[in-house]
Amino acid sequence: MNTRISHITYYIDLHSAYVQFLGCNFNCPWCIRKLTPWDHHLGNDELVRLRFQGGLLGINEFLEIIDNAINQYGMEEAVLGGEEPTIDPAYL
């Protein structure tokens, strides 16, 4: 089953991943995702290069990425966000 995960950003120094979802049922005026769907820590030159390919992660792909981050980089936490993760049907 596909999730609504569009991409995952890993912060090496924090041993933390930020999981980015597509879709939201809120209309927060301060939402950074209204500016760009990509990680807001990237520089403008990187943001210009990025294009969404339309592929969303399957649940098994997501779990494999998380397992690899734990084993290879010592990841300690994953933050679910980037739009609203609770509306993802893969997690119901």
Cut 0.85: pTM above it: no
Count the domains in the chain: 1
Which segments within 1-92 are labelled E, that is strand? 5-11, 16-21, 77-81
Domain that residue 13 falls in: 5-91
Q: What percent of the chain has pLDDT over 90?
A: 23
- The per-residue pLDDT for range 29-87, each reduced to its tens digit, is 888 777 666 666 666 676 666 665 666 888 899 899 999 999 999 999 999 887 888 89
Q: Which residues contact 84 (CB under 8 A, 6 or more apart)?
A: 21, 23, 24, 25, 26
How many Å separate Cα 4 from the centre of its chain? 9
Tell how strand 5-11 and strand 16-21 pair up: antiparallel
